[in-house]
Structure 1
Amino acid sequence: MKSKGVLSSSFNMSLGFIPVIIAILLSEFITQDVAIYIGTIVGVVYSIYNVSYQPIKIPNFILYLSTVILTLLTLATFISGSYIPPRALPLTLEVSIFIPMMILFQHKRRFINYFITKKTSCTRRFFTQGAESSIVAARFALILGVIHFIVISIGILYSEGQLTKEATAIFYKYLPPTVFILAIILNQIGIRYFNKLMSHVEYVPVVDTKGNVIGKSLAVEALSYKNTYINPVIRIAISVKGRVFLCNRSKKCSLDRDRVDYPMECYLHFNETLASAVKRVVKQTFPDVEGLHPTFNAFYHFENKLTNRLVYLFLLEIDDDSILCSPHFKEGKLWGFQQIEQNLNRNFFGECFEKEYEHLKSIIDIRERYKVS
């Protein structure tokens, strides 16, 4: 499937600096207090839009942080005294935002893990992606902030503490908004570059327990994030005259490696139908055989510490077992029900197979009796 990009601009968390940039730019034309009020209003409205109306519900933690800082400065305006030196709003905002952002970046793993462990499976993905994207945005901004600090330090040392009026304006007035704007631009460039690199990478749908698609993710994330969210998986059982064909799973499998299970299993691709996915799997497994048509039997939700999947179970009945004589199947053989039952609950078969066994047995029994009659 051709995609317009793995990541959209919704993942550019540096856009959360927009209220700050607006406040800084307005402070050059109106009073600092009014500029802060307007920036705060923009931040609150933008935050409400991000939470309630944005099509992709990715929380922008940089935006929330910026809005909180602006709100605190708004409250400070009602306190008597000069809470910010004249014309120092740009640098004050930069420092005020970058200090908590630096703390956040220092504890990035704990920050991300919090959402992985605390949120439900339906919202966990969005909060986790928002946290990760915010960490990326923070990295861009902090690098630029450090460069800004180095430039100021060099300027002060070079001038022996006597900065010219022009240098003061550049360091304290123009560079702070430039840092925020460059953070947005560099973050977007990073997203475009990432999309270019990942343009040929497969990704899979994220679904709820009823099979409704609620998002998408890279196929590799299905392994990396384990049971963070639900991905649809197709499993195809092979039956020959009342017996089930099983083989050893690969040692590379993330789930039930080297246990005995069906030879055909795969993730459903994003925007792929069940029918086309089944056809793809059968073609990959039996490239030279025509006329194989698995039938759908059931679907169920399966979750453990390693995976979270919505399983679609199909049954492929074949008459000629010679097509199973292939090195593609590791130690594969036909199993009778009595043989299977002697090895159940002994960590011999895959977990999904043991969950499916009774249903599969009844279906095969019914179909075999129907054939005889």
Structure 2
Amino acid sequence: MTNNFDEIFRFIKIIFVVLVLFVTIHLSLNYSQPKNSEVLLKMLQYVYMSVLVFLIVSEILRVQIVRAKLLNEEWWPIVSDQGKIIGSIQHLTSLSDKNKYIHPVVRVMIIDKGMILLQKRTVNNIVDSGMWDTSISNHVKTGENIEQCVDRTSKEHYSLEGFKYMHLSNYTLEVSNEFQYVFLFVSCQLIDLTPNLKFIDQAKWWTQQQIEENLQSGIFPENFKIEYDLLKRSGLLETGKCECSCRLKETIYNQARNN
């Protein structure tokens, strides 16, 4: 909103300056050349109207170009400590700002027979590049809800459509450039995955023993350590299935009742 007011004020100042110049020249001509002032004033009016039209057209074109550029940029919602949206910001601006904002993030842990599917992040990734992390992870974009973000990310990263997942927990974590308000989900479907190498360097199934042996080696981000602990305490890794008898569903049911 502030940027909109700044743009309007800037345009008004330009028009005001042009108007002041027109009035000044108009008075000068009347004073210095009263005999020829009528012809000169008509010429001045044509020039003034031409300049005014040019300014209006150029401003409209400039605004359209800026809007088109903004539409191509990725914006992230800013949320409160409780996860309520209170604003939005261009994502590169947020990551370079000295103030750390809280952004909503979705993460989905995919498990099968006691194993967890992990992705190795590409070296070009903004966050935790080159590390082994939860298989589906992404920032929510401005204008989309949590489910849409999960569906978009699963399709982009693994060509998955319509796969099922359940809510496990929410938590907030401070990372290098931001605070993340994480919506954590889990999926335990048997599915064929095709990693998109544009977003993921590789995907690999890890056993609990392999994870435990490397948990303090520095190859996992802090997010995954938190989520691995939550997953172990849920009991889902023990059962290896998403059924009503699973302790995970009991946990989710109890959370819903308490909320």
TM over 0.5: yes
Does structure 2 conserve the Cα–Cα contact (< 8 Å) formed by 1:204 and 1:270?
yes
- 1:300 and 2:134 are equivalent in the alignment: no
Look up the SS of the partner of 1:211 in the other structure.
coil
Q: Percent identity?
A: 26
Residues 202 and 332 from structure 1, CA distance in 2 versus in 1: closer, same or farther, beyond 3 angstroms? Answer: closer
Runs of 5+ unmatched residues, structure 1 = 1-5, 22-139, 152-164, 170-181
Does structure 2 conserve the Cα–Cα contact (< 8 Å) formed by 1:246 and 1:332?
yes
RCO comparison, higher one (Cα < 8 Å, 6+) = 2
Give, in whole Å, the separation in 2 of the partners of 1:283 and 1:335.
22
Residues 309 and 11 from structure 1, CA distance in 2 versus in 1: closer, same or farther, beyond 3 angstroms? Answer: farther
Cα displacement (A) at 1:268: 0.8
Does structure 2 conserve the Cα–Cα contact (< 8 Å) formed by 1:227 and 1:305?
no
For 2:141, the aligned partner's letter is H
Which residue number in structure 1 is paired with residue 42 of structure 2?
Answer: none
Residues 324 and 206 from structure 1, CA distance in 2 versus in 1: closer, same or farther, beyond 3 angstroms? Answer: same
Q: Deviations over 1:68-118 (max 9, x none)?
A: xxxxxxxxxxxxxxxxxxxxxxxxxxxxxxxxxxxxxxxxxxxxxxxxxxx
Which residue number in structure 1 is paired with residue 182 of structure 2?
Answer: 311
Runs of 5+ unmatched residues, structure 2 = 22-26, 32-51, 247-259
Give, in whole Å, the separation in 2 of the partners of 1:203 and 1:369.
36
For 1:237, the aligned partner's letter is M
Q: 226-235 or 339-348: which moved more?
A: 226-235
Residues 277 and 327 from structure 1, CA distance in 2 versus in 1: closer, same or farther, beyond 3 angstroms? Answer: closer
User: What pairs up with 1:147-166 in 2 under 5 angstroms?
Assistant: 166=28
Residues 369 and 267 from structure 1, CA distance in 2 versus in 1: closer, same or farther, beyond 3 angstroms? Answer: closer
Cα displacement (A) at 1:267: 1.3
- 1:259 and 2:121 are equivalent in the alignment: no
Give, in whole Å, the separation in 2 of the partners of 1:330 and 1:291.
24
Which residue number in structure 1 is paired with residue 116 of structure 2?
Answer: 244
- 1:284 and 2:156 are equivalent in the alignment: yes
Aligned counterpart in structure 2 of residue 341 of structure 1, from 185, 192, 212: 212
Does structure 2 conserve the Cα–Cα contact (< 8 Å) formed by 1:237 and 1:245?
yes
Residues 11 and 354 from structure 1, CA distance in 2 versus in 1: closer, same or farther, beyond 3 angstroms? Answer: farther
Residues 197 and 7 from structure 1, CA distance in 2 versus in 1: closer, same or farther, beyond 3 angstroms? Answer: farther
Give, in whole Å, the separation in 2 of the partners of 1:268 and 1:280.
10
Which residue number in structure 2 is paired with residue 65 of structure 1?
Answer: none
For 2:144, the aligned partner's letter is E
Cα displacement (A) at 1:296: 1.4
Does structure 2 conserve the Cα–Cα contact (< 8 Å) formed by 1:249 and 1:257?
yes
TM-score, normalised with respect to structure 2: 0.66
The alignment yields a C-alpha RMSD, in angstroms, of 4.1
Does structure 2 conserve the Cα–Cα contact (< 8 Å) formed by 1:226 and 1:305?
no
Which residue number in structure 1 is paired with residue 221 of structure 2?
Answer: 350
For 2:107, the aligned partner's letter is R
Look up the SS of the partner of 1:246 in the other structure.
strand
Give, in whole Å, the separation in 1 of the partners of 2:70 and 2:147.
26
More helix per residue: 1
Look up the SS of the partner of 2:201 in the other structure.
coil
Which residue number in structure 1 is paired with residue 75 of structure 2?
Answer: 203
Q: Deviations over 1:234-292 (max 9, x none)?
A: 111111111111131111112211111123211112221111221222222332x5551
- The number of residue pairs the alignment matches comes to 215
Look up the SS of the partner of 2:240 in the other structure.
helix
For 1:240, the aligned partner's letter is D
Does structure 2 conserve the Cα–Cα contact (< 8 Å) formed by 1:239 and 1:316?
yes
Does structure 2 conserve the Cα–Cα contact (< 8 Å) formed by 1:255 and 1:307?
no
For 2:170, the aligned partner's letter is F
Residues 215 and 316 from structure 1, CA distance in 2 versus in 1: closer, same or farther, beyond 3 angstroms? Answer: same
More strand per residue: 2
TM-score, normalised with respect to structure 1: 0.47
For 1:197, the aligned partner's letter is K
